[in-house]
A and B are shown apart, each in its own frame.
Chain A
Amino acid sequence: MKRKAAAGPRRNAKPKEDIWELRLYVAGQTPKSLVAFANLKKICEEHLKGKYHIEVLDLLKNPQLAKGDQILAIPTLVRKLPQPLKKIIGDLSNTMRVLVGLDLRPKM
Chain B
Amino acid sequence: MAKKEARLVRGGLQKVRTGIAGLDEVTNGGLPKGRPTLVCGGAGSGKTLLGMEFLVRGATQYNEPGVFVSFEESAEELTKNVVSLGFDLSRLIASKRLLVDYVHIERSEIEETGEYDLEGLFIRLNNAIDSIGAKRVVLDTIESLFAGLPNPSILRAELRRLFRWLKKKGMTAIITGERGDNALTRHGLEEYVSDCVILLDHRVANQISTRRLRIVKYRGSTHGTNEFPFLIDERGLAVMPITSLGLKHIVTHERISTGIPRLDTMLGGKGYFRGSSILVSGTAGTGKTSVAAHFVDAACRRGERCIFFAFEESPSQIVRNMRSIGIDLGQWVEKGLLQFHADRPTVYGLEAHLASMHKSIDLFKPKVVIVDPVTNLSSVATEADVKGMLTRLLDEMKFNRITMLFTTLTAAADSLESTAVGMSSLADTWLLLRDIEIGGERNRGLYILKSRGMAHSNQIREFLLTDKGVDLIDVYVGPSGVLTGSARISQEAQERDVESIREQEIARRRLNVETKRKALEAQVASLRAQFEAEELELKKLTEQEKMRQNGVSKLRKKMADMRKGDSNSERRKR
Inter-chain CA distance A97–B112, complex, in Å, is 7
The 8 A CB mask of A56-82 against B (1 = contact, 0 = none) is 000110011011001111111100000
**B352 CB within 8 Å of chain A:** no
A58 — nearest CB in chain B belongs to which residue? B123
B119 at the interface (CB under 8 A from A): yes
Choose, from A3-11, A15-23, A46-54, A84-92, the stretch at the interface.
A84-92
Nearest B residue to A76 via CB reads B120
Query: Given A70-B104, A72-B105: A90 and B116 within 8 A (CB)?
Result: yes
Contacts of A90 in B (CB 8 A): 112-116
Q: How far is the CA of A87 from the CA of B121 in the complex (A)?
A: 15
A36: B residues at CB distance < 8 A: 114
Q: Any chain A CB within 8 A of the CB of B103?
A: yes
Is B501 an interface residue when CB atoms closer than 8 A count as contact?
A: no
Q: Which residues of B contact A75 (CB under 8 A)?
A: 116
Task: For A63, give its contact among B106, B111, B123 (CB under 8 Å).
Answer: B123
Contacts of B145 in A (CB 8 A): 72
Q: Is the CB of A25 within 8 A of B120?
A: yes
> Does B511 sit within 8 A of A, measured CB to CB?
no
CB distance from B491 to the nearest CB of A (A): 90
Contact across chains for A94 and B114 when beta carbons are under 8 A apart: yes
Q: Which residues of B sit under 8 angstroms from A67, Cβ to Cβ? A: 101, 124
Q: Which of A59, A70, A87 has the most CB of B within 10 A?
A: A70
Shortest B570–chain A CB gap in Å is 182
- Residues of A with C-beta under 8 A to B123: 27, 59-60, 63, 66
Within 8 A of A (CB), among B120-165: 120-121, 123-124, 126-127, 145, 149
Q: How many chain B residues touch A (Cβ–Cβ < 8 Å)?
A: 24
Is the C-beta of B118 less than 8 angstroms from some C-beta in chain A?
A: yes
Whether B110 and A87, one on each chain, are in contact in the complex, defined by CB atoms closer than 8 angstroms, is yes
Contacts of B111 in A (CB 8 A): 86-89, 97-98, 100-101
> Is A89's CB under 8 angstroms from B113's CB?
yes
> For the complex, is B109 an interface residue (Cβ under 8 Å from A)?
yes
Report the separation of the CA atoms of residues A8 and B145 in the bound assembly, to the nearest whole angstrom.
Answer: 34
With A59-B123, A71-B124, A72-B121 already in contact, the answer to whether A86 and B116 are too (CB < 8 A) is no
Cα A89 to Cα B111 in complex, Å, equals 6
B117 at the interface (CB under 8 A from A): yes
Q: Which of B487-514 contact A (CB under 8 A)?
A: none
Nearest residue, chain B, Cβ from A100: B111
Interface string of A2-45 (1 = CB under 8 A from B): 00000000000000000000000101000010001000000000
B116: chain A residues at CB < 8 Å are 32, 73-76, 89-91
Of A27, A63, A66, A89, the residue contacting B110 (CB under 8 A) is A89
A28 CB to nearest B CB, Å: 8
Please name the residue on chain B nearest to A60 by beta carbon.
B123
User: A10 → chain B, closest Cβ, in Å?
Assistant: 23
Complex Cα–Cα for A45 and B124 (A): 32
Shortest C-beta distance, B323 to chain A (Å), equals 67
Residues on B with beta carbons closer than 8 Å to the beta carbon of A97: 111-113
Q: Which residue of A has the minimal Cβ distance to B126?
A: A63
Instruction: Identify B120's interface contact among A32, A64, A74, A88, CB under 8 A.
Output: A74
Given A66-B123, A87-B109: A74 in contact with B114 (beta carbons within 8 A): no
Known: A25-B120, A27-B119, A67-B124. A72 touches B103 (CB 8 A): yes
CA distance A87 to B149 in the complex (A): 11
Please report the C-alpha to C-alpha distance between residue A75 and residue B113 in the assembled complex, in whole angstroms: 10
How many angstroms from the CA of A66 to the CA of B125 in the assembled complex? 10
A63 touches B114 (CB 8 A): no
Give the Cβ gap from A3 to chain B, nearest Cβ, in Å. 15
A87-B109, A91-B114, A92-B113 in contact; A59/B104 too (CB < 8 A)? no
Are A71 and B120 in touch, CB under 8 angstroms?
yes
Nearest-Cβ distance from residue A94 to partner chain B, whole angstroms = 5
Nearest Cβ on chain B to A1's Cβ, whole angstroms: 20
Q: Is the CB of B103 within 8 A of A70?
A: yes
Residues of A within 8 A of B105 (CB): 70, 72
A76 contact set on B, CB distance < 8 A: 116, 120
4 A-B pairs closest in CB distance: A101-B111, A90-B114, A63-B127, A74-B119
Q: Beyond the given A76-B116, A88-B112, A93-B115, could you list 14 further A-B residue pairs with CB under 8 A, ordered by the A residue number?
A: A25-B120, A59-B119, A66-B120, A66-B127, A71-B124, A72-B124, A73-B118, A73-B119, A74-B119, A86-B109, A88-B111, A91-B116, A100-B111, A101-B113
B: residues with CB less than 8 A from A are 101, 103-106, 109-121, 123-124, 126-127, 145, 149
Can you list 11 residue pairs at the A/B interface with Cβ under 8 Å?
A27-B120, A59-B120, A72-B124, A72-B145, A73-B118, A73-B121, A74-B117, A90-B113, A90-B114, A90-B115, A92-B113
